[in-house]
Structure 1
Amino acid sequence: MKRKWLLAPACCVLLFTLTGCGKTVEEQIDTGVASAQTVFEENPQQPNKTIGKIQLFVPSGYEVKESEDLNNLIIKQGNASYILFVNYHEKEDSNLHYELLKKDPSKKIIKEETVELDGAFGFSAVLEYDKEQFELIVSSGGVKMSTISEDKNIDQKLVDMMTIVRSVKIDAEKE
């Protein structure tokens, strides 16, 4: 009987400890944006998938849905969908996607970070989509990826998105 009474408080302490380990949305956003910048500064992953003219790295658990419009690819992970947009005419140093974001007064930017490295420009941003969802955007030159996300795993999504975006290569022979 005494063991049951000792076990109940221990379970409560464990439950509160585990609950406290979860990151707040703000922490996920701060960590995700900073981590996306770090990914941008690292060597890009080698592509493991080719769709038309586009070569890209697709992390485990993600799949690319082929479409007729090879400027826009849909990438899925479970129930989450991501749009990968490739502008073939923009170079690595292009900040077009960033300028368009900044000029749009309807966008409510929560956090953003730009990065320039060896002539390449990139950024990551988290925008308020509605009360319970966020728009996540990462870009490198003419390549942009976005998704709508709830408040879970924002930090990891931003890292995966930047990993994919940074890996994109255009096959010049197929142009």
Structure 2
Amino acid sequence: MRRIYVVMIVLFGILVLTGCSMIQSEEEAIQHAGEAAEKQFHADDAAEANQELDILSMYVPAGLEVDKEEASNIILKDGSQTYIVFYNELEGPKSKLSYKAAAAKEDEALLLETFEDKDKFGYIRIMPADEEDKYELQLGVGGVKITTYTPKSSMEDDAEAMMKMSRSIAFENRESASE
């Protein structure tokens, strides 16, 4: 009978340790989000547009729906999570205008990284949010930026999806008015 208790305690201990190792720290979640954004930024091909809107077409991941379309903004929803897509048709894919605005709060940012190649400029910014276990996640490529509030557990997936969306509507065939 004692052996059964010892085996149960050992198994319980293993389960607890395994479960604890699967929980990401804030630093790990932020690092993984930055890596996911960078990987998507440098991916060979931008995601193919699957949503035709009044002014543009863009890639919208499964589960997200266009809630509202306004001049310069598109509101996407996934249940209670909102994604705000801002675009400026006058800014090309190398524009740093959105990044400069994001960098104005650099001291408060948990992460602010830039990515660049010969055709485009992008960034990711992660800020603490007022809500517990939520973070403000903002990504941009050129004249496009997308912002959402995300929990730590979804940060990496959201960063990847948002960079895919940002790249899909980057104004690739336009000369940037301000680079």
Matched, 1:64 2:44: no
- The TM-score, its normalising length taken from structure 2, stands at 0.84
RMSD: 2.2
Shift of 1:104: 4.5
Shift of 1:119: 2.5
**Distance in 1 between residues matched to 2:52 and 2:12, nearest whole Å:** 50
- Percentage identity across paired residues of the two chains: 27
Describe the SS at the equivalent of 1:130: coil
More strand by share: 1
1:9-45 CA-partner distances (Å, limit 9, x unpaired): 3133123202211211110101111220110111111
Describe the SS at the equivalent of 1:75: strand
| Structure 2 residues without counterparts, runs of 5 or longer | 174-179
Shift of 1:84: 0.5
The count of residues paired between Structure 1 and Structure 2 equals: 169
* Higher mean C-alpha displacement, 58-67 vs 41-50: 58-67
Cross-structure match for 1:32: 33
Describe the SS at the equivalent of 1:44: coil
| Structure 1 residues without counterparts, runs of 5 or longer | none
User: 2:127 is aligned with what amino acid?
Assistant: L
Shift of 1:8: 4.6
Describe the SS at the equivalent of 2:15: helix
Q: How does 1:38-53 map to 2 (within 5 A)?
A: 38-42=39-43, 43-53=45-55
User: 1:143 is aligned with what amino acid?
Assistant: V
In structure 2, the CA distance between the partners of 1:9 and 1:78, relative to structure 1 (3 Å rule), is farther
**Distance in 2 between residues matched to 1:81 and 1:21, nearest whole Å:** 27
The answer (yes or no) to whether the contact 1:73–1:85 under 8 Å persists in 2 is: yes
**Distance in 2 between residues matched to 1:11 and 1:121, nearest whole Å:** 49
**Distance in 2 between residues matched to 1:8 and 1:54, nearest whole Å:** 59
1:76-125 CA-partner distances (Å, limit 9, x unpaired): 223211101111111111000011122357x7111111111122111011
Cross-structure match for 2:169: 168
User: 2:135 is aligned with what amino acid?
Assistant: F
Cross-structure match for 1:90: 91
The answer (yes or no) to whether the contact 1:63–1:75 under 8 Å persists in 2 is: yes
